[in-house]
Amino acid sequence: MSTLLPLLDALDDRPQAVHLRERTYDRLGDVVVDVGCGGGRAVGELAARGARAIGVDADPAMISVAAARWPDGEFHVADATALPLDDGSITGYRADKVLHVLPDPARAVAEARRVLAPGGRAVLTGQDWDTIVIDSDDPARTRSIVHARADGMPHPRIARRYRNLLLDHGFTEVTVEVHTVVWTDAAALPVLANLGGDGAWLEEQEARARDDRLFVAVPMFVAAGTTAAGSR
């Protein structure tokens, strides 16, 4: 958690990330769970909008930080496949950049279906880890870094399956959007280091940042679906 939280904070502060986060709050209703809530920013923002906002994360340290940062939220340590919520008890479900690290993403979506009330809305957000775009003088090394990082995750390409996961679990009115987050400055360097870049490759990216020639683009997939009214 100690290295992840500053990186999440830096990403969340980007104007494009702020816009995307606001987009994911649309039509979530008045009782919302944010699964994999991390430092709790979305929970705090949803609470400020008047929702009963519930944050869930498997990491107790993250939940401790989130609860201290956002006292208006409600936070629980729990697994995404076993939420501490009754059947049909919430109007909105949000999972942002979390399904790719879960052993069984389909079980998490089934759990979303369980806790959502009829007419409730689920929003799944995240990147496809094979589609990160980085300008580099060494494209072969860049491909190797991106793919190695992806291959180290349980489900690096789950974002391209969001739509089918929602359909498979009975969601209707399913939509998919792609929003690309672009970096052209040194703020991308921690992201590149986190990918696993080092040595001459990372030095090149640092030089690009100094010379205003850096380019990183990350397509973010947003899929949403609704539970059928009267389906419970």
Beta-carbon contacts of residue 3 (< 8 Å; ≥ 6 apart): none
3-class SS letters over 103-154: CCHHHHHHHHHHHEEEEEEEEEEEECCCCCEECCCCHHHHHHHHHHHHHCCC
CA angle 202, 206, 208 (to 5 degrees): 115
User: Confidence class of residue 228 from pLDDT cuts 50, 70 and 90?
Assistant: confident
In the predicted structure, residue 1 carries a pLDDT above the cut 90: no
Domain ranges of the chain: 4-128+155-182+220-226
- The 10 Å Cβ neighbour count of residue 96 is 22
Q: What is the pLDDT of residues 60-84, one digit of tens each?
A: 999 999 999 999 999 999 999 999 9
**More confident: 48 or 15:** 48
What was the pLDDT predicted at 4? 67
Residue 7 has pLDDT above 70, yes or no: no
Query: Residues 124-144: pLDDT tens digits?
Result: 999 999 999 999 999 999 999
pLDDT given at position 191: 87
How much is the pLDDT for 34? 98
The answer to whether residue 108 scores a pLDDT higher than 60 is yes
Least confident of 50-54, 127-131, 177-181, 194-198: 194-198
Q: In the structure encoding, which two tokens stand for residue 168, read together?
A: 């498979």
CA 64 to centroid of chain Cα atoms: 19
Segment 152-170 shows an average pLDDT of 97
- C-alpha span between 209 and 168 (Å, rounded): 43
33 has pLDDT over 60: yes
CA diameter of the chain: 59
**Is domain 4-128+155-182+220-226 in CATH 3.40.50.150, yes or no?**
yes
